[in-house]
């Protein structure tokens, strides 16, 4: 029998040659993530921008184009400004506290001893719990009638400790709960950053007679700036979108003292009067705020440094 030789298709051969390069085949591996990002982030963002220009409820009934009317209404809405102010207050206190506590804890537990590993694991445990579950637990612990913490305070003479029900203490309590839950994440990142600093710097400083405090401020902090910048930006963006802990514990009360911007958006769009167009306009304004805060931080901490 005659040997039959099969010839490869030119298109198939060209395709293999084209994709047989690392810089090109990388796009194939990125494709699933790009599709997920496009479907669940880009398309909803574009839809939000479009819906913000309409007077529309959640049932898509009685839809009418209003242009910038929703944005003008937002600037005249005192409740929007109150929610924005509460969000800013939350960010200004929660982010620095989380980073400072995470940094001090990371610096204290950076060595790879058995105790330090166990302590880092314990501090990281709240991070893997959902914020809703953490909020329910804190609500029970701090409840005036059945809470364990108010009971202990009564034993030392402090009566009627109302944490989430008091307009003066509700926001500080939410901030403390959030820091308690999330500082383990910041600690873990900073531990890796500190461990990446060469030990030769510390050895040379010890020869020069530098103490632990001098090493921390003169070596650790300056060389940890990129990691601290990453933590600052990510924590700020996350804090500007605070929702779960407020929704579970206070529902924005008392007297709207803990109502944040995301919760106000949720109440506007998914509760009465189901004003989806106005909620999308508020979401766009929140996006503008996040970009206005995060982009200058990114530029100052990374681009200028490079």
Please list, in sequence order, all residues whose beta carbon lies within 8 angstroms of the beta carbon of residue 228, skipping any fewer than 6 positions away: 99, 103, 190, 193, 221
For residues 198-221, give the mean pLDDT. 89
For residues 162-179, give the mean pLDDT. 94
Does residue 42 surpass a pLDDT of 90? yes
Look at the block and give the residue holding tokens 């620095």: 96
Specify the pLDDT at position 224. Answer: 93
In this prediction, residue 1 has a pLDDT band, given cuts at 50, 70 and 90, of very low
Burial category of 249 from C-beta neighbours within 10 Å (exposed 0-12, middle 13-18, buried 19 and up): buried
* Averaged confidence pLDDT in the chain: 89
Specify the pLDDT at position 86. Answer: 96
> Which is more confident, 270 or 17?
270
In this prediction, residue 57 has a pLDDT band, given cuts at 50, 70 and 90, of confident
Burial category of 15 from C-beta neighbours within 10 Å (exposed 0-12, middle 13-18, buried 19 and up): exposed
Specify the pLDDT at position 17. Answer: 65
Does residue 133 surpass a pLDDT of 90? yes
Please list, in sequence order, all residues whose beta carbon lies within 8 angstroms of the beta carbon of residue 87, skipping any fewer than 6 positions away: 239, 240, 242, 260, 261, 262
Specify the pLDDT at position 28. Answer: 81
For residues 168-181, give the mean pLDDT. 95
In this prediction, residue 15 has a pLDDT band, given cuts at 50, 70 and 90, of low
In this prediction, residue 18 has a pLDDT band, given cuts at 50, 70 and 90, of low
CA separation (Å) from 187 to 98, 105, 113, 249?
9, 6, 16, 26
> In 3D, which of 270, 265, 267 has the Cα closest to residue 280?
265
Please list, in sequence order, all residues whose beta carbon lies within 8 angstroms of the beta carbon of residue 28, skipping any fewer than 6 positions away: 19
Q: What percent of the chain has pLDDT over 90?
A: 68
Q: Give the 3-state secondary structure of residue 247.
A: helix
**Which CATH superfamily includes the segment(s) 77-303?**
MetI-like (1.10.3720.10)
Does residue 33 surpass a pLDDT of 80? yes
Q: Give the 3-state secondary structure of residue 59.
A: coil
In this prediction, residue 45 has a pLDDT band, given cuts at 50, 70 and 90, of very high
Please tell me the number of Cα atoms within 13 Å of 3 on its side-chain side.
2
Look at the block and give the residue holding tokens 């804090």: 239
> In 3D, which of 263, 237, 236, 235 has the Cα closest to residue 248?
263
Token pair in block for residue 120: 């880092």
Specify the pLDDT at position 298. Answer: 85
Specify the pLDDT at position 302. Answer: 67
Helices (H) and strands (E) in the chain, counts: 16, 2
């Amino acid at each position: 029998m005659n040997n039959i030789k099969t010839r490869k298709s030119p298109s198939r051969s060209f395709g293999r040659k084209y994709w047989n390069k690392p810089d090109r085949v990388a796009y194939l591996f990125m494709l699933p993530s790009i599709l997920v990002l496009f479907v669940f982030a880009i398309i909803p963002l574009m839809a939000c921008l479009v819906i913000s220009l309409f007077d529309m409820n959640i049932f898509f009934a009685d839809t009418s184009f209003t242009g910038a009317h929703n944005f003008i209404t937002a600037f005249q809405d005192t409740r929007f400004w109150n929610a924005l102010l509460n969000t800013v207050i939350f960010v200004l206190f929660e982010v620095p506290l989380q980073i400072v506590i995470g940094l001090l804890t990371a610096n204290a537990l950076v060595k790879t001893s058995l105790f330090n590993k166990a302590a880092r694991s314990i501090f990281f445990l709240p991070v893997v719990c959902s914020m809703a579950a953490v909020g329910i637990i804190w609500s029970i612990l701090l409840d005036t009638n059945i809470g364990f913490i108010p009971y202990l305070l009564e034993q030392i003479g402090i009566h009627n400790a109302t944490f989430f029900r008091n307009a003066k203490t509700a926001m500080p309590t939410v901030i403390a709960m959030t820091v308690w839950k999330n500082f383990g994440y910041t600690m873990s990142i900073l531990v890796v950053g500190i461990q990446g600093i060469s030990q030769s710097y510390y050895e040379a400083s010890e020869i020069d007679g530098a103490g632990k405090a001098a090493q921390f401020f003169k070596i650790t902090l300056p060389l940890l700036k990129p990691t601290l910048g990453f933590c600052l930006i990510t924590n700020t963006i996350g804090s500007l979108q605070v929702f779960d802990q407020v929704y579970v514990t206070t529902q924005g009360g008392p007297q709207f003292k803990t109502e944040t911007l995301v919760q106000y958006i949720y109440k506007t769009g998914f509760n009465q009067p189901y004003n989806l167009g106005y909620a999308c306009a508020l979401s766009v304004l929140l996006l503008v705020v996040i970009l206005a805060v995060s982009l200058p931080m990114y530029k100052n901490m990374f681009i200028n440094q490079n």
